[in-house]
């Protein structure tokens, strides 16, 4: 029995060492540069750098996250645009030990109109549904309309209740706006795409 346990432990250690990668890990919730990076062990061979831009009313924040790569997120490019609001997210992955040495990167935004038109409104200070007769012409890959109402804690620790409608791309809707760096959703009233 002892030999079997030893053998299983040895196999586990070998599997982990063969299928693990070292990646840099850090998070900067209101900066494009991490102050302290640690080395962590990740299963698989991918490391991640995720960059985010978030504009809500009067405030704009850029944030970065480094860590283990995940097939569900690698290559993801999320975006949503509404009146007085903008959310952009990009996750790039690389293969090999400590390969995620790069910095904050967001692809160039495609501002080419795509023919989709969505309702557009923004209210700060309330999670009640905003109402407006205004519309927004969607651009690039933002081919879906969204309606989002929530209370969030921004990277500067300010708490904002707001309601916004606008355009989103498919990935922005798929992740339900849950891939946020340094933005804490305190309460979600509604999200429809």
Q: What pLDDT score does 178 carry?
A: 59
Name, of 9-23, 109-123, 152-166, 172-186, the range with top average pLDDT.
Answer: 109-123
Task: Express each pLDDT in 11-57 by its tens digit.
Answer: 333 344 455 899 999 999 889 999 889 999 999 899 999 999 988 88
Q: 């969204």: which residue's tokens?
A: 146
| CA distance readout (Å), 138 to 12, 54, 76, 116, 143 | 51, 18, 19, 5, 7
**Would you identify the CATH topology of the domain 20-192?**
CD59 (2.10.60)
Judge contact between 127 and 163, C-beta under 8 A: yes
Q: What pLDDT score does 19 carry?
A: 59
Task: Express each pLDDT in 64-94 by its tens digit.
Answer: 999 999 888 899 898 999 989 898 999 999 9
Report pTM. 0.82
Q: What pLDDT score does 56 carry?
A: 83
- State yes or no: pLDDT of 177 exceeds 70: no
Q: What pLDDT score does 10 carry?
A: 34
Lowest mean pLDDT among 59-63, 100-104, 138-142: 59-63
> Could you give the 3-state DSSP secondary structure of residue 51?
strand
Domain limits, the chain: 20-192
């Amino acid at each position: 029995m002892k030999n079997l346990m030893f053998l299983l432990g040895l196999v586990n250690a070998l599997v982990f060492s063969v299928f693990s990668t070292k990646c840099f890990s850090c998070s900067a919730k209101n900066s494009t540069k991490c102050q302290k990076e640690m080395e962590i062990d990740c299963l698989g061979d991918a490391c991640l750098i995720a960059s985010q831009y978030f504009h809500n009313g009067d405030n704009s924040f850029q944030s970065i996250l480094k860590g283990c790569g995940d097939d569900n997120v690698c290559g993801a490019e999320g975006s949503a645009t509404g009146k007085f609001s903008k959310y952009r997210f990009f996750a790039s992955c690389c293969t090999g030990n400590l390969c995620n040495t790069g910095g904050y990167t967001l692809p160039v935004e495609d501002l080419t109109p795509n023919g989709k038109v969505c309702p557009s409104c923004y209210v700060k200070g309330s999670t009640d549904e905003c109402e407006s007769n205004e519309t927004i012409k969607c651009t690039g890959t933002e081919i879906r309309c969204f309606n989002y109402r929530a209370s969030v804690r921004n990277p500067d620790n300010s708490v904002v209740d707001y309601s916004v409608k606008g355009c989103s791309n498919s990935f922005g809707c798929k992740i339900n706006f849950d891939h946020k760096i340094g933005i804490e959703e305190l309460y979600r009233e509604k999200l429809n795409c």
